[in-house]
Amino acid sequence: MMERLLRVHGPIIATVAVAVVLYVLAGVLYDGFFSLRVFAGFFGDNAFLGIAAIGMTFVIISGGIDLSVGAVVGCSSILIATLVEVGEWHPLTALLVALVFGVSLGVTMGALIHAFDLPPFIVTLGGMFFARGLGFVIHQEPIALRHPFFSDLYELPARVAEPLGVLLPAPAVILLVMLAVGLYLGRWTRIGRAVYAVGGDEDSARLMGVPVGRTKIAVYGFSGLCSALAGGVYTLYTFSGNASAGTMLELDAIAAAVIGGTLLSGGVGSVLGTMLGVLIFGIIQTAIVFDGSLSSWWTRIVIGGLLLAFILIQRLLQTSLAGRGR
Amino acid sequence: MRIPRLAWPLLALAALMSFNLFFTDGFFHIEIRDGRLFGSLIDVLDRAAPVMLVAIGMTLVIATAGVDLSVGAVMAVSGAVAACVIARPEYSVLSGVPGGGSAAIAILLALGVAGCIGAANGVLVSAAGVQPIVATLIFMVAGRGIAQLLTDGQVVEFRSAAMATLGNGFFLGLPVGVSVVAGALLAVGALTRGTALGLFVAAIGANARASRHAGVPAGVIKVVVYTVCGLLAGIAGVLVSADINAADANSTGLYVELDAILAVVLGGTALTGGRFSLIGSMIGAVLIQSVTTTILSRGVAVEYTLIVKAGIIVVVCLLQSPRFRRGAGGLVRRRSP
């Protein structure tokens, strides 16, 4: 019983421990780190990474990978900005168009992967080139947003919650909503269980009557939706649209998922773990800003080191427990 | 009828080339100036050189059913090491020459570091049993940070006669970069086709358990293969830096891993491992660069390159997918009873 608990939850316990240690360490080292505003910033400043990572988590759990995430963020960001500033559309309509684009691209990729048994790595690489190219075709230069809707929306949650003393910017609120959606989908829905089943063993899942094809296509469609929404949040966060936004974001999203205990071989993982991974990203970035003397490249090196540590812990847990079980 | 594996990439390349023959003026024009070859075709080879080098190593890695995502970051690290040893006085302790190091030592150190990263990847994959995509993700994430740290986030410029020759010189009438690719291809080709190494590599990829029972030292061979891949990426990094006489940790080798994997897949080596074709990967790399050059020389905006690339990926993948071929074959048979 204990061993099973450790095998299933071992990686996530390690993630929680690392997050707490990093947070306490940074809090002791730097004045003012323990404030609520800083904590809200972990989520607010990484909201688009977090939202994209939620979609990525489901793709990885299903045994696939989605390299198009960062490019879709850039494409959706420039699409929204162009429609609003050049086409004079309402931002919400523009967002809807971007979401439809994200879902369509995801569904197309999922259908190709399933129907022709193509490797997800290569198909989503094609999707990445397509979305990045399309973004630059739509508009090459970054566009600054002057539409009042964006600043109103950004400050809305803060104004509503003012009396309560909570300061959450809109991107963080959207992230939390998506987190709730992701948790619900993964834990309590038929499609969520199907994703785990397909990722665990595709052939068994098929024999048990799980609709493998529909599940896979849905997963890539959901990831496209998350990435397009992340592009919208990026636009809201920076008040600008940029076709080169989200460069290498897929890498950070995969790293956040792996640190959060999601196995790249599929079948194991959770959105909550991924959110812890994003939190660790936020803590490291903020600590480096607080320090002032460390260069921001340390973020990547620390994340690389954490990846190594987590992967070795996961291997160790798997092999030692498998050995004892025999 | 069995279609030879190299047929599809060759066909695609031939189609592109015949398009250029008719529609792009002077694409096939090659002239000899001072005993050196000039022309669009030579340009394609020269520009494809870094991806070709990386694709040689990537072919071997993919043949073992692995993948190496860290090659782009390794290029950045190796370029940064070479540039810093030559240009930064504080690194001259390493090169042994006070005030500015020699290019030879700089390149050796750069390749040494690149080889070490490759070996580390190999050990993680074979000894620790980590999935290749995860193991190499570590250096893909951390590598560029290390390169930035070495260069303090700046573009490190350097002046060195030897590096200038490497970047812009000619050897036997061809750009040095192309000669380096030819040398690497010959060396790796001789190793894999002349000895049993190639057979072992393909055996590990085709069936890891069977090859282990047959006595193939899978662990050692994987470490060797990842080390070779790292080394070749290191050479590519030095070439790219020599080309611009500077090391830019931000942009050197960005997305090269994706282009290299694409070249290998276009060349007919399956991502699931097993049989591999070095020549196929080279054709794949040249194909990718030809598309870019064709688009540029036709005056189409650069951003369309990516969309065309996406289209090629989908088409070639479909052509190589057994399920698609069966479906298409069925259609053909039904139409002609």
Report the range out of A169-183, B34-48, B160-174 with the highest average pLDDT.
A169-183
Distance CA A55, CA A76 (A): 15
The verdict on a CB contact (< 8 Å) between A308 and B138 is yes
| Residue % of chain B over a pLDDT of 90 | 34
- C-beta separation of B39 from B29 below 8 A: yes
| CA count, 13 A, side-chain hemisphere, B258 | 20
Q: Which helix (H) or strand (E) holds B150?
A: helix B132-151
Which among B129, B131, B307 is the nearest to A264, CB-wise? B131
Residues of A in contact with B318 (CB under 8 A): 112, 116, 118
Confidence band of A166 (pLDDT split at 50, 70, 90): low
Q: A284: burial class by Cβ within 10 Å (0-12, 13-18, 19+)?
A: buried
pLDDT score recorded for residue B80: 92
The residue of A66, A112, A125 whose CB has the most chain B CBs within 10 angstroms, and thus the best one to mutate to test that interface, is A125
CA closest to B310 among chain A residues: A126
The verdict on a CB contact (< 8 Å) between B134 and A264 is yes
Looking at per-residue confidence, does B24 or B337 come out higher? Answer: B24
Distance CA A165, CA B184 (A): 64
- C-beta separation of B138 from B118 below 8 A: no
pLDDT score recorded for residue B271: 83
3-state SS, one letter per residue, for A121-145? HHHHHHHHHHHHHHHHHHCCCCEEC
Looking at per-residue confidence, does A219 or A121 come out higher? Answer: A219
Looking at per-residue confidence, does A16 or B168 come out higher? Answer: A16
Residues of A in contact with B67 (CB under 8 A): 121
A5's tokens: 């608990």
B57's tokens: 């190593």
Q: What is the mean pLDDT of residues B34-56?
A: 85
Residue A182: closest CA among A3, A53, A316, A45 = A53
- C-beta separation of A254 from A60 below 8 A: yes
pLDDT score recorded for residue A198: 92
Q: What is the mean pLDDT of residues A4-27?
A: 80
Distance CA A115, CA A124 (A): 14
- The mean-pLDDT minimum among A288-297, B32-41, B188-197 falls in B32-41
Is the pLDDT at B280 greater than 50? The verdict is: yes
B335's tokens: 């139409």
Residue in the block written with tokens 């490497």: B166
Torsion of Cα atoms, A115 then A66 then B205 then A258, to 10°: -140
Residue B257: closest CA among B236, B241, B243, B242 = B236
Which among A122, A300, A319 is the nearest to B141, CB-wise? A300
pLDDT score recorded for residue A215: 95
- The mean-pLDDT minimum among A94-103, B49-58, B247-256, B323-332 falls in B323-332
Looking at per-residue confidence, does B301 or B143 come out higher? Answer: B143
Report the range out of A165-169, A271-275, B32-36, B328-332 with the highest average pLDDT.
A271-275
Distance CA B56, CA B198 (A): 13
pLDDT score recorded for residue B93: 59
Q: What is the mean pLDDT of residues B76-99?
A: 75
Q: What is the mean pLDDT of residues B29-58?
A: 84
- C-beta separation of B278 from B185 below 8 A: yes
Distance CA A47, CA A243 (A): 18
Q: B186: burial class by Cβ within 10 Å (0-12, 13-18, 19+)?
A: exposed
Q: In Å, how far are A32, B60, B322, B331 from B336, measured between CA atoms?
A: 78, 42, 21, 9
Is the pLDDT at A263 greater than 70? The verdict is: yes
Q: Where are the alpha helices (DSSP H) in A239-297?
A: 249-259, 271-291
pLDDT score recorded for residue A163: 61
B84's tokens: 């810093």
Which DSSP symbol is given to A93? H
Is the pLDDT at B331 greater than 60? The verdict is: no
Torsion of Cα atoms, A294 then A295 then A299 then A301, to 10°: -100
pLDDT score recorded for residue B336: 42
pLDDT score recorded for residue A310: 82
pLDDT score recorded for residue B94: 58
Which DSSP symbol is given to B3? P
Instruction: Report the gap between the CA of A244 and the closest CA in chain B (Å).
Output: 12
A183's tokens: 């948790």
The verdict on a CB contact (< 8 Å) between A67 and B307 is no
Distance CA B98, CA B96 (A): 6
Sign of CA dihedral B208, B212, B213, B214: positive
pLDDT score recorded for residue B130: 85
Phi, psi of B181 (to 5 degrees): -60, -45
Residues 6+ apart with CB under 8 A from B68: B57, B58, B61, B118, B121, B132, B136, B226, B229, B230, B233, B257
| Strand runs labelled E in A198-312 | 240-241
Residues of A in contact with B148 (CB under 8 A): 295, 297, 300
pLDDT score recorded for residue B337: 39
Residues of B in contact with A255 (CB under 8 A): 137, 141
Residues of B in contact with A295 (CB under 8 A): 148-149, 152-153
Please name the amino acid found at residue B27. Answer: F
Confidence band of A5 (pLDDT split at 50, 70, 90): low
* Average pLDDT over all residues of chain B: 84
pLDDT score recorded for residue A145: 86
A306 interface with B at CB cutoff 8 Å: no
A40 interface with B at CB cutoff 8 Å: no
Instruction: Report the gap between the CA of A127 and the closest CA in chain B (Å).
Output: 7
Distance CA A272, CA B170 (A): 56
3-class DSSP state of B63: helix
Q: What is the mean pLDDT of residues A72-99?
A: 93
Q: In Å, how far are A106, A264, A266, A315, B123 from A318, measured between CA atoms?
A: 33, 14, 14, 5, 18
Q: Which helix (H) or strand (E) holds B136?
A: helix B132-151
Residue in the block written with tokens 């959060």: A260
Q: In Å, how far are A10, A148, B126, B197, B229 from B217, measured between CA atoms?
A: 33, 66, 11, 10, 18
Distance CA A263, CA B130 (A): 11
Residues of A in contact with B146 (CB under 8 A): 297, 301
Looking at per-residue confidence, does B147 or A151 come out higher? Answer: B147
Is the pLDDT at A286 greater than 60? The verdict is: yes
Residues 6+ apart with CB under 8 A from B275: B5, B63, B202, B206, B269
- The mean-pLDDT minimum among A37-51, A161-175, A186-200, B55-69 falls in A161-175
Q: What is the mean pLDDT of residues B300-310?
A: 81
Q: What is the mean pLDDT of residues A215-237?
A: 95
The residue of B61, B136, B141 whose CB has the most chain A CBs within 10 angstroms, and thus the best one to mutate to test that interface, is B141
B24's tokens: 């792009």
3-class DSSP state of B27: coil
Residue in the block written with tokens 């069995």: B2
